[in-house]
Amino acid sequence: MPISKHPTKAVSPARGAVIVVAMRWTDRLIGLFSTLILARLLVPADFGVIAMASIVVGLVDTLLALGVGSALIQNRNAGREDFDTAWTLGIIQGAVVATLIWFAAPYAAESFRDPRVLDVVRVMAFTVLLGAWENIGIVAFQKNMEFGRDFRFFFFRRIAGFVVTLVAAILLRSYWAMVIGALAGRSVGVVLSYWMHDYRPHFSFKKVRELWSFSQWILVRNIGSYGLAQLDKFLVGHRTDAATVGTYSLADEVSSMPTTELLAPLGRVLFPLFVKVSHDTEQLRQAFCKALGIQTLFALPAGVGLALVAQEAVPLLLGDQWLQAIPLVQTLALISICTAMGHSSGYVLLALGQVWVQAVLAWIQLALLAVLAILAFPEVGVQGIANIRFVTTAAGMLLLAALVLKNVKSIRLLDILMHTWRPLISTGLMAIGLIFLSNQTSFGHLTQFLMLVVAGAVVYALSVLMFWKLSGSPDGAESYLLELIKSRLV
């Protein structure tokens, strides 16, 4: 493990979860604030240009991503040679990726039939190259569960990008504001990584074989996952225009905020925790069940709730120029539920070194999405593509749960059902209540939105507590959260 001049201060999983969730909530609040401002300063076509360029950059980056960070965390005995080799491979990867992106830029602009994509892609290539020089030592923050330092690193990097993006948007009123902000955030991240961690990497190839044995499946999985996440946007861009891509991309970002973007960061706690208890099947089962319960407890009501209040939320938060995003937000919010609820299963398999299972699953989902969206329904529009993506994501979530049950013998179907039935029923009751209120009342967007959010939260919280009490107050997500709240108040 990296040699540090200061003793590491690991925290408990519970405290780590609080810090990481707080970190992500802070990050997403900044991101939400930025998105809401940019949505009013810029037009859908501006978001579309960035989305199209990001597809190309992300594709090349993913094709060569080695996942060395995950390999270092999964390896309990990773030492200096492992970290140095990971840093070296990262720099080589960044240089190759940046070169390929630079030369791919003209073809990207031609494919999307938008010349603005050319220069944006080439600036992003430099951003990728710059980010490759980030200090590999910061991986130890997550590996050692030093989530306080992890929080500070990501917060300062995020706030720098936010401030620069906002100022540039006010001055330029152009998509270049987002490009400049991304470059600034990446630059600050490199500087911070060396300032916040005393590890100083050196070039080394001594552990290439060991890293590659794990990273090869990370690479295969990442390519499939990226294709799964971006194929729909590529098809929208190919079949429509920049404005429609921008609307779809922003709808995707907004719909994921209450679920995936808030619960996904728990993986920064779950992964090292699952690795730590992977040798004890009972501890692993308990950790998985509690994590699944917490994710379900938040993801279900958040996703369903957003879908039901999208009619009021979109014009209120984004403005009337984004009204076409409403049906997309409603569909994509349901997709984010499936994604969020699959995180625990994915990290269990990753901790056990069965990343190849995830890789196979990602490619199966990608193949299904391609068959439906390209072969079965080649003329389908933007809403149809969103619907197909929902079917594909839901099928993937169920298949991932089945793979966990097959590969982790200590986890049973009954465990999954016992930790998810209360949120499922409570979310159903909340949905019925929101639909009834929507049909009975008609206020302004703000009043209607606040009323529905408060009513939905109250109905859901009371329902969950009632079912938890009626079932004998079992140990699970509800008891964990109540104890956590109690410990914060005492």
**pLDDT score recorded for residue 368:** 94
**pLDDT score recorded for residue 318:** 79
Give all domains of the chain, ordered by start, each with its CATH number: 1-206 (1.10.357), 260-490 (no CATH)
**pLDDT score recorded for residue 160:** 86
**pLDDT score recorded for residue 59:** 66
Question: Which three-class secondary structure state does DSSP give residue 6?
Answer: coil
**pLDDT score recorded for residue 456:** 94
Full-model pTM: 0.67
**pLDDT score recorded for residue 2:** 43
Going by pLDDT thresholds of 50, 70 and 90, the confidence category of residue 67 is low
**Other C-beta atoms lying within 10 Å of the C-beta of residue 11:** 17
What mean pLDDT is reported for the chain? 81
In this structure, of 25-39, 218-232, 287-301, the range with the lowest mean pLDDT score is 25-39
Going by pLDDT thresholds of 50, 70 and 90, the confidence category of residue 309 is very high
Question: Are the CB atoms for 374 and 382 separated by under 8 Å?
Answer: no
* Crossing angle (nearest 10°) for helices 281-317 and 477-489: 80
67: left (phi over 0), alpha (psi -120 to 50) or beta: left
Average pLDDT over residues 395-418: 89
Render pLDDT for 4-62 as a digit per residue (tens, 0 to 9): 444 444 444 445 455 555 555 566 566 666 766 777 777 778 878 887 887 777 766 56
Which carries the bigger pLDDT value, residue 275 or residue 385? 385
- Whether 387 shows a pLDDT value over 50: the answer reads yes
- Output Rg (C-alpha) for the chain, integer angstroms: 22
**pLDDT score recorded for residue 147:** 65
**Other C-beta atoms lying within 10 Å of the C-beta of residue 148:** 15
Q: Burial letters for 389-408: b for 16+ Cβ neighbours within 10 Å, e otherwise?
A: bbebbeebbebbbebbeeeb
Question: Are the CB atoms for 302 and 25 separated by under 8 Å?
Answer: no
Structure tokens at 77: 């005995």
Render pLDDT for 124-147 as a digit per residue (tens, 0 to 9): 888 888 888 988 888 877 677 676
Q: How far is CA 266 from CA 37, 58, 295, in A?
A: 27, 23, 9
- Whether 65 shows a pLDDT value over 80: the answer reads no
**pLDDT score recorded for residue 128:** 84
- What is the CA angle 373-379-385, rounded to 5? 40
Which carries the bigger pLDDT value, residue 274 or residue 345? 345
Q: Which residues neighbour 286 within 8 Å (Cβ) at sequence distance 6 or greater? A: none
Render pLDDT for 412-465 as a digit per residue (tens, 0 to 9): 999 999 989 999 999 999 999 999 998 887 777 788 889 999 999 999 999 999
Average pLDDT over residues 242-264: 76
- Is residue 195 classed exposed, middle or buried when 0-12, 13-18 and 19+ CB atoms within 10 A define those classes? exposed
Going by pLDDT thresholds of 50, 70 and 90, the confidence category of residue 172 is confident
85 vs 63: CA distance, rounded Å: 19
Average pLDDT over residues 91-119: 86
Q: Which residues neighbour 283 within 8 Å (Cβ) at sequence distance 6 or greater? A: 277
**pLDDT score recorded for residue 68:** 66
Closest alpha carbon to 303 in 345, 328, 327, 338: 338
- Whether 213 shows a pLDDT value over 70: the answer reads no
Closest alpha carbon to 138 in 276, 1, 30, 343: 1
Question: Which three-class secondary structure state does DSSP give residue 206?
Answer: coil
Which residue matches tokens 């490009």? 179
Instruction: Name the range with the highest mean pLDDT among 226-235, 244-253, 260-269, 307-316.
Output: 307-316
